[in-house]
Each structure stands twice: as structure tokens, then as C-alpha cells.
Chain A
Amino acid sequence: MSLIVTANQLTKTFGVKKAVNAIDLKIEKGPPVGLVGPNGAGKTTLFSLIAGFLRPSSGSVTIFGHSPTASQVKGRLAILPQDASFVKGISIIANISFLCKLQGFTGKAAMVEAERVLELVNMSEHRNQHVERLSHGMYKRVAIAQAFIGTPELVLLDEPTAGLDPPSAKKIHNLIRANTDRTSFIISSHNLNEIEDICSSVIIIKDGAIVSHDALSNLVSRSNVLRLRLETEPSETLIQTFKQHADINEVKNGRAGENVLILYYAERENLIIETEVLQILNQLGLSYLELKRGEALDDKVSDFLEK
């Protein structure tokens, strides 16, 4: 595996605030990596440092072994910046085909490539509209389209589906999945279901520092765990009943207000734990909303962030 991003003691300060604080990071070429953390944690700043938009206050960052500003990196990296604007007064197709030209497509090929990437995000029928007339969601889709021009080796997507309707978000998820064999993705998102669905490793960032960088399989257990969501807050009786069950080792409460219990159990032959749990609920006259195998990334991230 080859390293695509390396950061050493990477720090960025804005005034007295350390937006990114002495981050050491190594990301290898491979399946999508998620970048999660609360607002103001430093996710966008980290992306901007990797892409060369911001200069580090101290430390260093390299992409493919080069500085982000080096010409060797250009065209190999694509990014969906969170709040960048296209040129106003110019059509979508003119904006995108210009970026295609910068990426090595000449003349008609630039137009064909622009049409292709706009089609990927269902925006080709709006190709002649000026960018300032687009809705937020349409604008976002055009911005995503430009990140898929050519065959970039690394794509940084900052909140790719924020503000998109569910069908569009699903389309973007499929687009990412369809390109993971040739492109490495780093995806920043507050939508942890999205991260869990697409990414195979997750970086959790808090107050400008990385608090966890691990494979999703190490972070959230898929076996020997049940996640139970109830209609009401779990009563002490219910918790004690589960704790006294011979096969249940540990019972954890989910986040406040979520009405979630996480049940850790021991695997044994012929045990269908779901049946056991449902019987207990039935005995206590309780109903549930959801019963899922495995931990949720959401709970794990919360654990890290609340530490």
C-alpha cells in the first residue's frame, strides 16, 4: 500500500485559535476514509491544508510524497470545497469545461468530459444555466461533478451530501462506490450513517486533534452486539432484566434522549439473541422501534467526543 497523505505535526492557527493542532496522519491508498467530528473540530481546515489552500502555521503535509503546492500533485487530487463559488455570469458547462481543459482535456474532449461529469450528478439538462441561478442542492451537485473530472487518484469531499435531497444523496453514494477501485476518497461528513455506509476507516477529530484513526471494523463491533431502540426511555427494570440474563454480558445506555440500549452478549450455539430480547420486552409489555446487530458509529463517535 502506498501513502497518499502524510501529515507531521501539522498545525494551523487563526489568531490564537489552533484550528488544527499538531496532527500526525498517514492515509494509504485504498477504500474511502471518513473524517468526522463536531462543528469547528478542524475538518475543513485539515482538508484545506491537504489541498494546499491554507499554509500550515507549523509542521508539514504531503500528498503522494509532494507538497500540496507542487506541480506533481496537480490533476491527481480533486476536491469538493465546502463553500467555493464558480464564476458568475458564466454557464455551468463553460465553468466545468474550463476545469476540464486545465485537467488535460482539449477542445471537444473538454466539452464531452464536462457533459459526462454533469450527467453523473443529473445536471446535464441544466448545462446552459448560469451558476448564480442554481439552488443550493444543484450548485452542490455541480461542485461534486467537477471533483470527478478525469481520473483523480485522491478525492477530498467536504460534506458531499449536506443539503441534497435523499435521491441525490444516494446517487452520490453510488458514484463514490463505483469509483473506489481507482480513486481514494476522504469524506468529511456529519452524516455518520453515510460514513458507516461508504467508508472502511474513520478519523475522528476534536478540537483540532485526531482522537481516533482506525478501521471501521475495529471501531464498531458487528458481532455479539445488539442495538435496541425503544419507544420510551429504558426503565431500570428493563436494564436489570437484561443484566441478569445469562447470555448478556454488558448493557450500555445510548445517548440521552435516544432511548437506545446496547447489549453485548456471548456467542453460543443455538442462541438467537433477538428472540430472547423480544421475549423480555414482551414480558414487560414494552415495544421497540429498532433492533439491529452491531454497534452504531454514531455511539462510538459520541464516546470519543465526550471523553
Chain B
Amino acid sequence: MPENKKLFRILLWQDVAWSIKSARGSLFLVLFGIFWFWILWKLSQGQLQSWLKTGDSFIASFIWGAGVAKDLIIDKPTTLSIYLIFALTTMPFFAILAACDQTASDISSKYLRFLISRCTRAQVFLARFFGVVILVTTAYIAVTFFVILISLSIDGFSTPDTISYGIKVALTVAIYSLPFIAIMAFLSAAIPSAALSALTGMGSYAILAIVISILPQINSNFSFFGYILPSGFKQGLYNTEFSTYFPSMLAVLIFVPLFVWLAWLVFSKRDI
């Protein structure tokens, strides 16, 4: 038998290769491709940049605070800032879509029964999780690459400044995707249907987001509820100050082991 690490690698790369051909992988890539093609087109025309720089910069200041708005709009390449805003805002949808079927379909079809006599549950579970991480991260890195090219051509910043900010944006987007993939690892282990786990993920996230936005208006003491979701730390991820950005990044990462652990508890004990 191959050693454990080798088995994990075989499972991981096979999952990445087959996920592109699978229904959930195809659906994710098609919707992701259409959405980002449209956004990239708008960015290349400068239409979205002008929206943030001109008429609605007051709104940007209101949402992110004057300092952050100035950083995003003026001090940093605006195209990349716009991309960062859109990427983080739409992340729950795309990450949930990509990650909804880590184990769900294979539990219902009992395909895992062909694997479990040859490798451990932990290897299957981790390979599926990291397979989705690779798929999502690669997709966003590809989009970030094109955004950097657009930014270099229209934002007027130096190449090193644009590329270094682009790398930071890519890193932020990749890390922000992790808690959503972890949440879906839990849901897809608990619900043996990819569609149902996606609906549960999106539905419960939307309901929680609405409740969290309403609660502080009822009582300001409830504002801490915002931090029960990764999106509670999104503001900090826009911030260019390291002292704000880094703790927010760490806070987002805390969700990952928590939900991976919960997912493993379910997957390791469930009948397959």
C-alpha cells in the first residue's frame, strides 16, 4: 500500500481533476466565469472605477470610513480595490457553490465505499477539503492576474506597487474563502445531497446576515453578533493598516479549524 502522504496526494489531485468535470465544479466555474468576465469587462472600461471615485465616494466613506475609503480609492490601485470589494462581497455565494459537495454526493451514491477499503476517512476528508481550496484559490488567482493587468494599464500606479497590492488582494481573497469552504465541509458531511447542502449553506448564511444587520438597530449592545460570521471581519480586510488588517485576517482564519473540526466530527462518525 502507498504511504499515507502519497495516498492523500493521489486523492487530492484526482479530486481536483474530477471536480472540474463534475456538476458542482462545472456549475461553479461557469457562474464564476460569467460573473467575473462581466466584472473584468466593466473594470477594463473604467466604469466601476469611476463609480467609486466620483459620485458615490461619499457612500464609500460612509461604508468603510474616510481613511479606508481614501486608501482604497486614491492611495491604492482603484481597479484592484474594486475587485477586492466585489470578491469579498460575493465570496459566500461562490465559495459555498464550489464547496457544497465535498462529500455529500459520494455519501448518497455510496461511492465512498469503494475508497474506504483503500484509504482512511481522514485522508478522504482532507483531500476533499484541500481539493476545493485548490479549485477556489486557483480560480481567484486567475481572476486577480487579469485584474492586475487591467490595473497596470489604467490606474497609473507603478508596476511594483500594483503587483504587491495585487498579491495582497489575492491573499486576502484566498484566505477569506477558507471559512466558507470549512462551513461547507461541515454541511456536506451532514447533508447527503450537494444541492441541499448548498441551499442550506446559502439560506442559513443569508438569514444570519440579515439578523445580524438588524440586531444592532434594535439594541447597540447586539453589535458583537456581527462577529459570529466571517463577514463581520470584512471591514478589517479592506483596511490597509497592518494593525487592523492582520488581526482581521487571523480572526477570519479562526473559523477554519473550528468548522473543519465540526465537519470531521460528523464525517468520522457518520455511516457512509
Contact = CB atoms under 8 A, between A and B. Distances in A.
B115 interface: yes
B76 interface: no
Given A55-B271, A98-B14, A75 B1 contact: yes
Nearest to A14: B271
Interface string A90-112: 10000000110111100000000
A69 B272 CA distance: 12
Interface string B99-117: 0000000000111111111
Interface stretch (A78-86, A179-187, A224-232): A78-86
A99 B11 CA distance: 10
B195 to A, nearest CB: 15
Nearest to A154: B117
Interface string B1-36: 110100100110010001001100000000000000
A55 B118 CA distance: 17
Contact of B118 (A48, A75, A85): A75
B120 interface: yes
Given A53-B271, A74-B118, A102-B119, A83 B1 contact: no
Contact of B1 (A55, A99, A104): A104
Contacts of B11: 102
Interface string A49-92: 00111110000000000000111001101110101111101100
Contacts of B272: 53-54
B114 A55 contact: no
Nearest to A103: B118
A71 B120 contact: yes
A6 interface: no
A74 B119 contact: yes
A81 B118 contact: no
Interface residues of A, number: 29
B111 A87 contact: yes
Interface in B219-272: 269-272
Contact of B21 (A84, A90, A99): A90
Chain B: interface residue count, which band? 20 to 34
A53 B269 CA distance: 10
A77 B117 contact: yes
Nearest to B115: A102
A74 B117 CA distance: 5
Contacts of B269: 55
B130 to A, nearest CB: 17
A146 interface: yes
Nearest to A85: B109
Contacts of B119: 74, 102
B121 interface: yes
A85 B10 CA distance: 20
Counting chain A CB atoms within 10 Å of each CB, the highest count among B1, B11, B119 belongs to B1
B113 A79 contact: yes
Interface of B: 1-2, 4, 7, 10-11, 14, 18, 21-22, 109-121, 269-272
Interface of A: 48, 51-55, 69-71, 74-75, 77-79, 81, 83-87, 89-90, 98-99, 101-104, 146
16 contacts: A51-B116, A55-B269, A55-B270, A69-B121, A71-B4, A75-B1, A79-B113, A81-B114, A84-B109, A89-B21, A90-B21, A98-B10, A99-B114, A102-B118, A102-B119, A104-B2
The 3 closest A-B pairs by CB, nearest first: A84-B110, A75-B1, A85-B109
